[in-house]
Amino acid sequence: MALSGEYEPSPEQWVREQVERYEATGGAEANTLPDRPDWPIVVITSRGAKSGKLRKNPVMRVEHDGVYAAVASKGGAPEHPTWYHNFLAHPEVELQDGPVPHTYRARVAEGEERAVWWERAVAVYSPYAEYQEKTDREIPVFLLERTD
């Protein structure tokens, strides 16, 4: 079931533009980090923890056997990204990896499961390792499992 409600675009211009281009082309364009065709992204729609409005974010594409990871790194900042709180408050999200979005349920990976997924994430996007070194918090890894 698709998420419905009012969409509030990101205050970050690059996020707005990437999401708009990705969705307009069914993921054929704007599907990697800018100027880095070797680092693919997906677009995740979540519901705002406080506002209830729909939010969309490009997130590194980390996938294994149909399950996706969303790494709440925020570049190694001391605090979690805003979408971390959205996922906890409203774990039903949409993930678009190509032309069609699907509904997923997000949950935080812990213990050995997190360790396995962390290695997968670093293999896809090596800066995650540097981000972890920059912060005292353990960077959360959400697992997104399809529900539709």
State the pLDDT confidence band at 1, using cuts at 50, 70 and 90: low
Q: What six digits make up the tokens of 80?
A: 């979690």
Q: What six digits make up the tokens of 48?
A: 């705002």
Nearest to 65 by CA among 3, 144, 148, 131: 144
Contact between residue 62 and residue 54 where contact means Cβ atoms under 8 Å apart: no
Which ranges of 60-125 would DSSP assign to H, the alpha helix?
Answer: 82-89, 111-124
The CATH number of the structural domain formed by 13-146 is 2.30.110.10
pLDDT of 35 strictly over 90: no
Question: What does the pLDDT look like over 38-87, one tens digit per residue?
Answer: 999 999 999 999 999 999 999 999 999 999 999 999 999 999 999 999 99
- pTM for this predicted structure: 0.95
What is the residue-averaged pLDDT of the chain?
96
The three-point CA angle 26-32-37 to 5° equals 125
- What's the pLDDT score for residue 2? 81
- What's the pLDDT score for residue 34? 84
Percent of the chain as helix, strand, coil, to the nearest 5: 30, 35, 35
- What's the pLDDT score for residue 59? 96
Question: What does the pLDDT look like over 91-136, one tens digit per residue?
Answer: 999 999 999 999 999 999 999 999 999 999 999 999 999 999 999 9
